[in-house]
């Protein structure tokens, strides 16, 4: 019995013994969200009361956890009957391993601003280093 090294192990075309079935075209992998987009969703979950503050323990450094702990009890992004959503999130990289980001959050009929800073540690993991929630409420754009 000869071994076909071009065929993946254990794969055979059942129609013809010893042949390899045509390979499927691989699906394009979904792009993972950028760190600031991922953090915007997590911060929104905490600041809207959907998740507890301690959910961010391993994802914060410095004063960021204290800032969240101070903001979260009032659920400032909770908006009654509608679930708040991140409308837009943008980040800039002023230095290597640092992202300063801002997001606009739709909370019912209001748009709120959320700014935060991410820092990449020696383990290459991103952590939130600061959070600022704009206090001014703007009318929703229709």
Higher pLDDT, 7 or 66: 66
pLDDT value of residue 90: 97
Q: What is the mean pLDDT of residues 79-85?
A: 81
Number of neighbouring beta carbons within 10 Å of residue 67: 18
Identify the architecture of domain 35-136 in CATH: Roll (3.10)
Query: Is residue 107 predicted with pLDDT exceeding 50?
Result: yes
- pLDDT tens for 32-46 read 789 999 999 999 999
Residue with tokens 């002023």: 94
Q: Is pLDDT above 80 for 16?
A: no
**Measuring CA to CA, how many Å separate 135 from each of 25, 45, 73, 132, 138?**
50, 18, 16, 9, 10
- Residue bearing the bigger pLDDT, 118 or 32: 118
**98-107 vs 138-139, strand pairing mode:** unpaired
- The pLDDT value recorded for residue 78 is 84
Model-level pTM greater than 0.85? no
């Amino acid at each position: 019995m000869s071994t076909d090294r071009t065929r993946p192990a254990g794969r055979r075309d059942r129609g013809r013994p010893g042949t390899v079935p045509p390979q499927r075209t691989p699906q394009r992998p979904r792009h993972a969200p950028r760190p600031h987009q991922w953090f915007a969703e997590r911060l929104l979950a905490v600041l809207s009361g959907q998740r507890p503050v301690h959910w961010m323990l391993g994802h914060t450094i410095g004063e960021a956890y204290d800032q969240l702990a101070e903001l979260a009890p009032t659920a400032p992004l909770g908006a009654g009957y509608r679930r708040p959503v991140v409308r837009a999130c943008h980040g800039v990289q002023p230095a290597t391993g640092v992202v300063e980001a801002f997001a606009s959050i739709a909370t019912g009929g209001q748009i709120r601003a959320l700014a935060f800073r991410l820092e990449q540690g020696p383990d290459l993991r991103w952590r939130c280093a600061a959070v600022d929630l704009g206090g001014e409420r703007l009318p929703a754009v229709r």
